[in-house]
Amino acid sequence: MLLLRLSLRNLLRQKRRNILLGSAMAIGVAILITANSFSHGISDIMFNKIMRYVTGHVAVRFNERGGVMREIFRDRQRVWDAVKGEPLIEEADEAIGTFSRAIGNGRSDNIMLIGVDTRKTLSAKAIKELEESFRMAEGKWEDLRRTDVENPVIVAEEKARYLNVKRGDIIRVRFRSMFGQDQAARLTVVGISRNDNIFMQGVVFLDRDRAKDLLGFRPWETGSINITIKDPQKNARALADRIHSRLRPGTAIIYASAGGRPAQVLGFRTDDANKEKLKGVMKLSSGSWDKVLRKDGVVLPAALARQLGVSAGGKIRLAYPRKFETAPREAVLTVTAVCASGCPGPAAVLLNDAGFYDLYYEDMPAGPAAGARTFSAEGPWAELLAPEWVLLNRTNNTDDYKKKYQDIAKNKWKGTTIDVSTMYETASDILKMEGVLNLITVSAVLVLFFIILLGVVNTLRMTIRERTREIGTVRAIGMQRRDVRNMFLLETLLLTLFSSAAGLLLGFAVMKGLALITFHPHDNPLGMLLVNGHLYFLPTFSGVAGSVLLIVLIAVGTAWFPARRAAQLSPAKALGHFG
């Protein structure tokens, strides 16, 4: 306490000098806190006000047959079972949307048609976030449920202006369904929204059920799934890992009858890595590998071929019960080869995976009938048979995520690919951007503090010179060297803490003032950095505490050497000093 009182007294004795030095430190703290809060605010906008609406905190994405825009999964309940039951999940939505060409009144442009669930009950927090991101200039969100108009939609103000449409007008759109069919539809504008984010100004919102009808989804099919969770920064990766583990595929099997006899229809993989393996496992008694490896390749085991009385070039009729419809599916196939040995089973009908998935996905097969013989892939066939879907590996950052989707286009997988990711992995570049902004800010402020701390060193040297006889006096009456050193360090610490407190107040005042300025960034990408037309700052406890701690460590560390030099003065020499 004695050291504390002495340090405070000494700070007050040199008011002018300490006020000037403290003001410079406070300005540095204010700059650092403001810049750190702004960069963190940018990340929050990108993640929680853009990425959250685009992908959710966790996303389960489907791509059928290598089509990046063909986001569909044919067994909705199967995948939702892997998602449900997680207490961390606040909300899970189907992501239904497509790019289309819109024709307004004499103008046309590209739009992104997005389906939204208008029937769910939103919390007060969710409603507030929705209104902040999409402010309604005309109409209201409930208008998407209207039944008195054709396909009611909400259009962004900028897009409505470009298409020359207003509330009540008709927009004609052309697009492709999930199955590659060209479609056209009429949309009725029932609302116009304002959005500062240029990337969201091309979005047109439509009721999700209507969007699914337009795109050709059947009731048991789903689009990709966006999941919002509690404390995403802490929980998102762990949740994605758990969902990923539940979606591991089994072998795709169609339990059918071939010519009235029980059969298991299986797909064999024809990617380059498995073609030679397939030839090494299975021996043909008739037919050729060239025909087997074509899309319509069909191989019968010799025993089944004899029972059906067919050979290569003959036809067989398949029939199998469907999972979601009552009438069975029937198909006539041409046998391209007969397997003499190495077949996966005596009743296994093998189809090239491209043709197999046409049957499997178009009409999802039911499971085996009660008492029917089930099939289990064994040995090399466990790797050669087509899986129910292709589960992509988890990724850690944006670069890996991009490479994964480049591989989808390159490999042209026949089966549906499933990818489970978090927004922190798909948009890790945003975190890098925040890190770069913080690095630039810290570097600039460190230069400023280097200049300021030169003042600290010079001030301490002047103070020590002026107080040399005082140092000799306190040493003569029994104060230890370490206490002298600690007294000067404590003075620097107190000055830094007072300056940091003033800097925090100044920084928060600056942020408050800057946030009051209204910007109108029409068609400007910088608008994505704004919330309701205002700059967005997000100070965090860790950011503020880290900045103050950094400054304190630098200041005290700089003061260490002059304080140590003062402590090493001998009492006799200090008492005899005249300065």
pLDDT tens, position by position, 180-200: 788 999 999 999 988 766 667
pLDDT tens, position by position, 286-305: 989 999 988 899 999 999 99
- Give the integer Cα–Cα distance in Å for 74 and 361: 6
Higher-pLDDT residue of 380, 530: 380
518 three-state secondary structure: coil
Residue 203 scores a pLDDT above 60:
yes
- Give the integer Cα–Cα distance in Å for 541 and 173: 49
The closest alpha carbon to 351, from 277, 296, 397, 404, belongs to: 296
148 three-state secondary structure: coil
DSSP summary character for residue 269: -
pLDDT tens, position by position, 252-290: 999 999 988 899 999 998 887 888 889 889 999 998 999
Residue 85 scores a pLDDT above 80:
yes
- Give the integer Cα–Cα distance in Å for 392 and 445: 44
Residue 440 scores a pLDDT above 80:
no
- Give the integer Cα–Cα distance in Å for 461 and 473: 18
Residue 524 scores a pLDDT above 60:
no
Residue 123 scores a pLDDT above 70:
no
Higher-pLDDT residue of 220, 401: 220
DSSP codes, 444-484: HHHHHHHHHHHHHHHHHHHHHHHTHHHHHHHHHTT--HHHH
- Pairing assessment for the beta strands 182-194 and 152-156 based on DSSP bridges: parallel
Query: Average pLDDT in the 370-377 region?
Result: 80
Strand-pair partners of 258:
261, 318
Query: Average pLDDT in the 456-474 region?
Result: 67
Helices and strands per DSSP (H, E), number in the chain: 20, 21
- The per-residue pLDDT for 134 is 74
- Give the integer Cα–Cα distance in Å for 227 and 213: 23
337 three-state secondary structure: strand
Strand boundaries in 275-336, DSSP class E = 283-287, 298-301, 315-320, 329-334
- The per-residue pLDDT for 322 is 94
DSSP codes, 400-444: HHHHHHHHHHHHT-SSPEEEEEEHHHHTHHHHHHHHHHHHHHHHH
User: Which amino acid, residue 257?
Assistant: S
Higher-pLDDT residue of 363, 554: 363
What's the pLDDT band for 351 if we cut at 50, 70, 90? very high
- The per-residue pLDDT for 324 is 93
Residues in contact with 182: Cβ distance below 8 Å, sequence separation at least 6, in sequence order: 174, 175, 176
Q: Are 543 and 37 in contact (CB under 8 A)?
A: yes
- Give the integer Cα–Cα distance in Å for 82 and 76: 10
- Give the integer Cα–Cα distance in Å for 502 and 80: 53
What's the pLDDT band for 51 if we cut at 50, 70, 90? low
- The per-residue pLDDT for 131 is 64
pLDDT tens, position by position, 67-80: 666 889 999 999 99
Query: Average pLDDT in the 101-127 region?
Result: 82
**φ/ψ of residue 259, rounded to 5:** 60, 30
What's the pLDDT band for 3 if we cut at 50, 70, 90? low
- Give the integer Cα–Cα distance in Å for 338 and 283: 9
Q: Are 175 and 212 in contact (CB under 8 A)?
A: no
Higher-pLDDT residue of 66, 113: 113
3-state percent breakdown (helix, strand, coil) of the chain, nearest 5: 50, 25, 25
Mean pLDDT of the chain: 83
- The per-residue pLDDT for 407 is 75
Q: Are 358 and 329 in contact (CB under 8 A)?
A: no
- The per-residue pLDDT for 28 is 80
- Pairing assessment for the beta strands 261-268 and 348-352 based on DSSP bridges: parallel
User: Which amino acid, residue 400?
Assistant: D
Sign of the C-alpha dihedral computed for residues 534, 32, 433 and 435 taken in this order: negative
What's the pLDDT band for 306 if we cut at 50, 70, 90? very high
DSSP summary character for residue 396: S
The closest alpha carbon to 83, from 245, 314, 255, 262, belongs to: 245
- Give the integer Cα–Cα distance in Å for 296 and 273: 20
Six token digits for residue 271: 């990617």
Q: How many CB atoms lie within 10 A of CB 50?
A: 19
Six token digits for residue 325: 């419809």
Higher-pLDDT residue of 90, 373: 90
List b or e across 358-387, with b for residues whose CB sees 16 or more CB atoms inside 10 angstroms. Answer: bbbbebbbbeeeeeeeebebeebbeebbbb
Residue 249 scores a pLDDT above 90:
yes
Q: Are 36 and 547 in contact (CB under 8 A)?
A: yes
Query: Average pLDDT in the 441-467 region?
Result: 68
Query: Average pLDDT in the 468-473 region?
Result: 66
Residue 17 scores a pLDDT above 80:
no
What's the pLDDT band for 559 if we cut at 50, 70, 90? confident
User: Which amino acid, residue 96?
Assistant: I
pLDDT tens, position by position, 132-145: 667 788 998 889 99
Six token digits for residue 259: 């010519």
- Give the integer Cα–Cα distance in Å for 96 and 29: 47
Query: Average pLDDT in the 357-369 region?
Result: 90
Residue 525 scores a pLDDT above 60:
no
DSSP summary character for residue 271: S
- The per-residue pLDDT for 263 is 92
